[in-house]
Amino acid sequence: MILFECNLRYLKNTYTEVYNLLMKTIKNEFLENADIIVEEAKNGDPTLKYYDGNAYYYIHSIYNPWKEAKKFIEANVDNRIGDYIVFGFGLGYHVIELLKYEFVKNVFVFEFNKEIFLNALNTIDISSILNDKRVHFFLVDEMDAFNKYLQSILNSMISDDYKVIYHEPLIRSIPPEMKEVRDLILEFKILNSTFNNNENYYLLKDNFESNILNYDKPVNELFNKYRNVPAVIIAAGPSLEENIEKIKSLKTNSILIAVSRVARNLLQNRINPTYIVISDPLPIMLEHFKNIEIHYELPLIALSTAYKGVLKEWKCTKYLAFQKNFDLSEEYAKRNSLETVEVGGSVSTLAIEVAIKFGCNPIVFVGLDLGFSKNKMHAFENSVIENYGSVIETINYFNEKIYTNHSLNIFRRWIEKKIGNNKHITFINTSLNGAKINGSIPMEMDEVIKLL
């Protein structure tokens, strides 16, 4: 217990908030907690075994925690980036490995399981890690504190040049009562991994380098062009099926911004969108336009990393949108004095961002279900979903329970934040059986037609 007491004294003097939180938590029997077992790995170093309610698993390697940590950090470190947010502390092996890199300037470490941290206090000398002036440590046991700390960190950063490191076994150990925190971390992961995932980077880079040679104008030329002009965002949710005919009745003073997946369906119904939006970097994008002459008739708004083949074939005006959080895009935008856009993780959220930048008001959502309405994810699909996989319950505008998934729920939260930050714009949602988007006004399509 000498090591434990020394660690507590250290925390009391240097991390008062952490110390006070632990003092409220400590129980005499915590070391006998059957859910957390400190074992000796094959190489002689301590490792942790944790029971998550279903099964035991190892937080660190049972063979060689140092070797595992070194490999883990090598896969996540980037010599262009100095600031790191690390979700999960455990016994600190990966944090120590990260600190070995001289270009690392700041490491913001979060631990979410107090029992695991208490075991760490009895196993390792934490002062050897936390004494490093680059380390900023946070012990979190509820959502408000996590939000406060995370926002403070993000606000303190001069630029967006930071990287998040997710220690998955430790994220898995977040207690059930902190499900909100786990969901927020998942949201953070999805929104930040789109452009910074090593596996995707070279695909995005290849598309970007081709696209900057094959576009006509930056989308910025359209910013504020449609001030107070109504915009209708046409997404691919199941509710589009019941409203597609009604879109024809909209007055011509509205602009229609459609995601690529529904382009064929709109044209087949003699509806010509004002703009088509694409964001996906994969070749499957060409399938959305197969056997139709859309590229001769309509302007395209493409994310700078969208699949290059579409821009090469498109014959009408091609606008390119330069996104935040992708280094090549940000550098190009800076060199050319262009404002960057927030993507939000999907083509629908990109379309909403574009409409806001255009100055449109109101902005109407059609087909933006963000859930499994009618047991389907997309409009005009014959098959229904029989196995949703990992789902989240939410409600529609009738306060009825519907199912969605993590990705769709994250997009919904992103949209709600956008609505909250643009209170001068009226947002209307016609997908009443889809997930309720707080801040938007529910309205039947017939009423929208009268309004516009």
| Burial class of residue 439 in the structure, from the number of CB atoms within 10 Å of its CB (0-12 exposed, 13-18 middle, 19+ buried) | middle
| Kind of pairing between the strands at 162-166 and 217-218 | unpaired
Q: What is the pLDDT of residue 390?
A: 56
d(CA 291, CA 12): 69
**Residue 161 three-state SS:** coil
Are the C-beta atoms of residues 18 and 109 closer than 8 Å to each other?
A: no
> What angle, rounded to 10 degrees, do the helices at 143-156 and 179-196 form?
30
Q: What is the pLDDT of residue 403?
A: 85
Q: What is the pLDDT of residue 376?
A: 57
Long-range contacts of 46-51 (CB under 8 A, 24+ apart): 46/91, 46/123, 46/124, 47/91, 48/90, 48/91, 48/116, 48/119, 50/116, 50/169, 50/173
| Burial class of residue 234 in the structure, from the number of CB atoms within 10 Å of its CB (0-12 exposed, 13-18 middle, 19+ buried) | buried
DSSP state of 399: S
| Kind of pairing between the strands at 231-234 and 363-366 | parallel
Q: What is the pLDDT of residue 428?
A: 98
Q: Write down the pTM of the prediction.
A: 0.68
Q: What is the pLDDT of residue 325?
A: 80
Low-confidence stretches of the chain (pLDDT < 50) are 28-31, 195-198, 382-388
d(CA 430, CA 87): 38
DSSP state of 322: P
DSSP structure string for 107-131: EEEEE--HHHHHHHHTTS-THHHHT
d(CA 181, CA 130): 23
Q: What is the pLDDT of residue 234?
A: 97
